[in-house]
């Protein structure tokens, strides 16, 4: 029987990394993608996520209020 190789990291980490990359590259990430990320986050990963969102906020002259509210909720 052939051995299956485990990927580096678990599937949650792989999916989270892929989604974080998408959000980092997208000016207007979808709310459903952000919801999925937040459902996958562990407490020690929240800061990384918030920093990515803040980078998007800084890039916009008029950042979206829903995104600002989301960031605010994550920091409390």
pTM: 0.83
pLDDT (tens digit per residue) in 15-68: 999 999 999 999 889 999 999 999 999 999 999 999 999 999 999 999 999 999
For the four alpha carbons of 62, 26, 49 and 34, in that order, the dihedral sign comes to positive
In this structure, are residues 74 and 49 in contact, taking their beta carbons and an 8 Å threshold?
A: yes
Tokens of 65: 């209020």
How far is 64 from 42, CA to CA, in rounded Å? 25
């Amino acid at each position: 029987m052939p051995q299956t190789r485990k990927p580096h990291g678990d599937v949650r980490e792989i999916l989270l990394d892929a989604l974080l990359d998408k959000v980092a590259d997208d000016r207007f990430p979808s709310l459903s993608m952000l919801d999925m990320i937040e459902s996958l986050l562990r407490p020690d990963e929240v800061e990384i996520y918030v920093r990515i969102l803040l980078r998007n906020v800084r890039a916009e002259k008029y950042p979206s209020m829903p995104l600002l509210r989301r960031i605010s909720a994550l920091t409390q």
